A and B are shown apart, each in its own frame.
Chain A
Amino acid sequence: MKRNWVLILIAVMVLGLWLSGCATTETKKRPYIMSQQGTLIWDDEFEFKPPPSGWKIIEVEVGGEFGFGFMRVDSGPFPSQSMFVYDEEPFGCSTQFENREAEFFKRYLWSSAMSLDMQILEKQKVQVLGMEGLAVVAEGKDPVKKEKVKSKVVFGKRGDRVVAFYLTQWRPIDGIYDVSAFEVFDRFWGSFRYLKKSFYETIAQDP
């Protein structure tokens, strides 16, 4: 009889441990909250209008090419998809937009490695992050893979460093681009604002 009680006690303990394990896996904190105004507050640092449903969040924590963004699988054959991101460390070093744009497009989308023939279609000054920025629309075609990509890149400033927002929309070479993704992207960067100073702005100031 005593042996049965010991077995029951062990079974209850195992069940308790198993359930507590389940509970901990459910509590992963999301990096964002929705404000009462319908904006999304990311990491208590960024605020912006989120895309409509159908867009999935993508994020990279360290060492990636971008910080976070959203993607959507579009209708049509592969590679029909759209993705836009906010990037604190866009390719290049210059703090002047025109120079940075040239540096950026040398490496953007691994142009040379992917045999993408990137052409700048449009370039204009825009108001972004409360000051003047630069918006560039480009298109790349890969005749080998029979794919194409249209992209809009918006360069802005955070402190004295250049940041970028960019959208890429991939299609088969004879596919049609969907302008609605560009409109969602425009609302994203147009509404984007900082809720606090950046790491780079504060690290040299702190005691």
Chain B
Amino acid sequence: MEGHQRNLSLYEHFNARVVGVSRDDVTTLTYWAKNLDLTFPILSNVTGFLGPYFGVNPSPEIKGYPVFSRRTVIIDKRGIIRYVRDGSPDFKDILLFLKKMNKEGGKP
């Protein structure tokens, strides 16, 4: 998340906004965001209902406790998912994609 915070001005340059989604509760996320000086919104997705909308499903490794894997998703202004990558975010790849989308006019 710190990586996204460092890139906020570049995201803005490409007409993009970043939103974090986490299974943690609001109190935990408030403390966490304050601790890391994050200024962008983070959604508390305690029940996990948002996951399937982005193709993120509970990890089958820990049964009975729905842990979600890390995923980066870019949605365009029409609500279409244009980019999906699992694992740690590749910020250079994300920025190159946003630049391309911005040039196409499909502002995220």
A93 interfacial by beta-carbon distance below 8 Å: yes
> Which residues of A lie under 8 Å from residue B89 when comparing CB positions?
63
> With the chains together, A103 CA to B2 CA distance in Å?
10
Q: What's the minimum C-beta distance from A72 to chain B, rounded to whole angstroms? A: 28
B77 interfacial by beta-carbon distance below 8 Å: no
Known: A93-B36, A204-B10. A63 touches B2 (CB 8 A): no
* Pairwise interchain contact A89-B35, C-beta atoms closer than 8 A: no
> Which residues of A lie under 8 Å from residue B91 when comparing CB positions?
89
A62 interfacial by beta-carbon distance below 8 Å: yes
> With the chains together, A106 CA to B35 CA distance in Å?
9
> With the chains together, A161 CA to B10 CA distance in Å?
12
B22 interfacial by beta-carbon distance below 8 Å: no
B52 interfacial by beta-carbon distance below 8 Å: no
> Which residues of B lie under 8 Å from residue A62 when comparing CB positions?
88, 90
- By beta carbon, the residue of chain A nearest B92 is A199
A203 interfacial by beta-carbon distance below 8 Å: yes
> With the chains together, A203 CA to B38 CA distance in Å?
23
Q: What's the minimum C-beta distance from A65 to chain B, rounded to whole angstroms? A: 10
From 38 to 63 in chain A, residues with beta carbon under 8 angstroms from any chain B beta carbon are 62-63
Known: A106-B35, A199-B92, A203-B99. A93 touches B6 (CB 8 A): yes
- By beta carbon, the residue of chain A nearest B10 is A204
Interface string of B84-100 (1 = CB under 8 A from A): 00011111100110010
B37 interfacial by beta-carbon distance below 8 Å: yes
> With the chains together, A206 CA to B103 CA distance in Å?
11
A67 interfacial by beta-carbon distance below 8 Å: no
Q: What's the minimum C-beta distance from A162 to chain B, rounded to whole angstroms? A: 9
* Pairwise interchain contact B35-A93, C-beta atoms closer than 8 A: no
* Pairwise interchain contact A63-B87, C-beta atoms closer than 8 A: yes
Of the listed residues B37, B87, B88, B99, the one surrounded by the most CB atoms of chain A closer than 10 A to its CB is B37
> Which residues of A lie under 8 Å from residue B99 when comparing CB positions?
203, 206
> With the chains together, A161 CA to B7 CA distance in Å?
10
> Which residues of B lie under 8 Å from residue A103 when comparing CB positions?
36-37
* Pairwise interchain contact B37-A203, C-beta atoms closer than 8 A: no
B-contacting residues of A (Cβ < 8 Å)?
62-63, 89, 91-94, 103, 106, 161, 199-200, 203-204, 206
